[in-house]
Amino acid sequence: MSNLQKFSQPVMITDNASLQSMVTSLLTEKFVTIDTEFVRERTYWPELCLVQIAGAGSVYILDALAEDIDLSLLVPLLSAPTVVKVFHAAQQDLEIFLHLFNILPAPIFDTQIAAMVAGFGNQIGYDSLVESLLGHNIDKSHRFSDWSMRPLTEAQQSYAAADVTYLWDVYLVLQKQLQQTNRLEWVAAEMETLSDPVFFLPPLEKIWKRLRPRTHNRRLLGCLYAVIQWREQEAQRLNIPRQHLVRDESILAISAALPDNIKALSRVRGISQGFADSKEGLSLIAVIKQVKNTPVEELPLPVTIKVEKAKPSEALVMLLKVLLQAKCETYKVAPKLVASSKDIEKLAMGERKLSVLSGWRKEVFGQDAVDLCDGHLTLGIRNQKIEFIKH
């Protein structure tokens, strides 16, 4: 039975005195459950609207849009080493706090990752996890509410509170299961990634690799990379989505045309005259001019059209995937958390400096994968289940 019945009615926090009182009270807890509600459709940074926090028997809804509220009063709680901060699918919540306070909450526990370790599949949703562990169905009717609108209805407040009250019980159940299976250290290892600010940096390299054309034109490549960096900085400064500033296809067109004046920029597909005339347009032109004046040897190297590399045996890749699935069924852990498709291909090609070959992943799958590749393990079938045969 859920502890939800033990929670008092949600307390709305709209002033600094109440916020300070809440933080003081929660600093005595061993753990608190936290969730956020935000909107991001029109901004680069998430616009925080609510912070829901539950302690033992008490649940609070902090109105982040309340007039004169000082959200930095949350920092002592978020950074308290004696209080575990429990989230579900924590990445976006953590990104918000990192942007607001330049710190990441610590220590943390992500129940979505913990559920993957405990065998509840890949990236299980909060609603499904609550139903699986607690037998409760959460009302989803307010999932797509505009949380920036005020006043909040009672139904919205109840929905927001449920995100942390049920999470309280979910955490306790998962903690018990993981303790019984000696897997709390597995979860702790995964939390280290979410505790590194570098994990939350803008994905400049990913955007660059995705847009980079196969060309020997180093000037084009240099412009492309410079404009990608410029767009990210300007989108952050203006607090608008990067695609609202300049779309990807326009960046490619700009890099090919190298427009170094307003008239030339306005002729690029997807670029309006208004943008070309604007402060941002002039700033972009300055970036392009700088690239044009950069010595070619300082620009990015061309993308070489590589000779077709040897590919892994498709049969071996398939065998490794079967092994992964079978081992994850045995250990009751989500395959996605253990190894990616790229990991499988690299193993099949003989690479051995991989994360899957260290820590708990090596125990679950990595060592057996190497043994399979080296001929020291074969797969059989007994009683309609995969059997692992060592040689």
CB of 131 closer than 8 Å to CB of 137? yes
For residue 345, the number of C-alpha atoms closer than 13 Å in the C-beta half-sphere is: 7
**What is the reported pLDDT for 304?**
58
CB of 183 closer than 8 Å to CB of 117? yes
**Straight-line distance from the first to the last Cα atom of the chain, in angstroms, rounded to the nearest whole number:** 48
**What is the reported pLDDT for 1?**
42
CB of 87 closer than 8 Å to CB of 94? yes
Residue ranges of the chain whose pLDDT lies below 50? 1-3, 5, 305, 307
For residue 231, the number of C-alpha atoms closer than 13 Å in the C-beta half-sphere is: 25
Mention every residue, 6+ apart, whose C-beta is less than 8 A from residue 69.
14, 15, 16, 19, 62, 63
Neighbour tally for 141: CB within 10 Å: 10
For residue 299, the number of C-alpha atoms closer than 13 Å in the C-beta half-sphere is: 21
Sign of the Cα pseudo-torsion (5, 6, 9, 10, in order):
negative
Mapped to the 3 state alphabet, what secondary structure does 51-108 carry?
EEEEECCEEEEEECCCCCCCHHHHHHHHCCCCCEEEECCCHHHHHHHHHHHCCCCCCE
CA distance 283 to 95: 28
Only one residue has tokens 């399979």, namely: 372
> What Rg value do the Cα atoms of the chain yield, rounded?
26
Mention every residue, 6+ apart, whose C-beta is less than 8 A from residue 178.
114, 117, 118, 184, 186, 187
Q: Render the burial of 89-101: b for 16+ CB within 10 Å, e for the rest.
A: bbeebbbbbeebe
**What is the reported pLDDT for 309?**
65
Only one residue has tokens 């299980």, namely: 124
CA distance 220 to 256: 6
CA distance 391 to 388: 10
Kindly report whether the peptide bond that precedes residue 107 is cis, defined as omega within 30 degrees of 0. yes
**What is the reported pLDDT for 302?**
77
CA distance 320 to 317: 5
**What is the reported pLDDT for 3?**
47
